[in-house]
Amino acid sequence: PAAAPVTVIGLGPMGAAMAEALLAEGHEVTVWNRTPARAEPLVAKGARLAESVAAALGANELVILSLTDYDAMDALLKPVAGALAGRTVVNLSSDTPERTREGARWVTAAGAEFLAGGVTTPPSGIGDPENTYTFYSGPRDAFDRRRSTLEVLTRADYQGEDPGRAALMYQIGMTMFWTSMLSYWQAIALADAHGLKAADVLSHARETFASLDMFTSFYAERVDADHHEGDVDRLSMGTASVEHVLHTMRDAGVDPTLPQAVVDLFRRGMAAGHGNDSFSSLLGLVKAAK
């Protein structure tokens, strides 16, 4: 079948990469962006620039949104909700699961099909479906009909009908991503305080992150079985270790906010009597904060 024509609204780094990947695969692409200048490089590659959001919605049945968040979708689409009937809106902007469900509800009530997406790759991975993936959720038939077009961008991992599910999977990844990257800045700040560059510690940093792969698999089985026995690690050992980290930061004059938060959780685990259990017993403390 001929490549389906697509509208892309939102031309930040992500939306621009999406429009470009679709053009490269022979799709007719109509674009719109609040700041029109960002459309120029795409128009030079063959995209059509719509005059208004309503015109962008009118141009094609399939409409991809790549905006900062769901407030931006509301700001753009609510004033032209009458133009949504019969469209398939695929929102690849990130937000919370609750906010995503709320957006899905009103767009669906306006007569459109709604698919939510959580893209797990930076712009450089868009157009490389062999190596990248996006979580989708929403009506199965809408997803099945649009899958081949969406897979121009990345591989599509369908997560079921609940529109909040794709956002949840995205947030699970981001929970790990932002904290882990902050731990990386922490390590580089410590290295810097001792006259080392990021490049000097790069191979050690990469090995350390790579080693987490083994830990995640090992502990997944145990925590699902509620098994927190201290046979391979004890919280008392972990507490001494994270305190060494904190003191190393203090000695170096580096901001201790992140390691301090880690130490606080370990100490709460000790106070709760988990010294002889695995540090996975901290999961109970994290779960309890409802």
Residues engaged in binding ligand NDP (CB under 6 A)? 10-15, 33-35, 38, 66-69, 72, 75-76, 93-94, 119, 122-123
Of 71 and 144, which CB lies nearer to ligand NDP in the complex structure? 71
Nearest residue to 149 (alpha-carbon basis) of 29, 16, 12, 13: 29
Q: Using CB positions, name the residue nearest to ligand NDP.
A: 12
Q: Judging by DSSP bridges, how do beta strands 29-32 and 62-65 pair with one another?
A: unpaired
- Return the SS3 of 230: coil
Of the CA atoms within 13 Å of residue 15, those in its CB half-sphere come to 29
Distance CA 4, CA 7 (A): 10
Q: Which element (helix H / strand E) includes 179?
A: helix 163-193
In whole angstroms, how close is the CB of 166 to ligand NDP at the nearest point?
A: 12
Of 13 and 160, which CB lies nearer to ligand NDP in the complex structure? 13
In whole angstroms, how close is the CB of 165 to ligand NDP at the nearest point?
A: 16
In whole angstroms, how close is the CB of 285 to ligand NDP at the nearest point?
A: 29
Residue 56 exposed, middle or buried by CB count within 10 Å (0-12, 13-18, 19+):
buried
Of 13 and 82, which CB lies nearer to ligand NDP in the complex structure? 13
Contact 70, 100 (CB under 8 A): yes
Q: Could you tell me which residues are beta bridge partners of residue 158?
A: 136
In whole angstroms, how close is the CB of 173 to ligand NDP at the nearest point?
A: 9
Of 60 and 121, which CB lies nearer to ligand NDP in the complex structure? 121
Of 55 and 272, which CB lies nearer to ligand NDP in the complex structure? 55
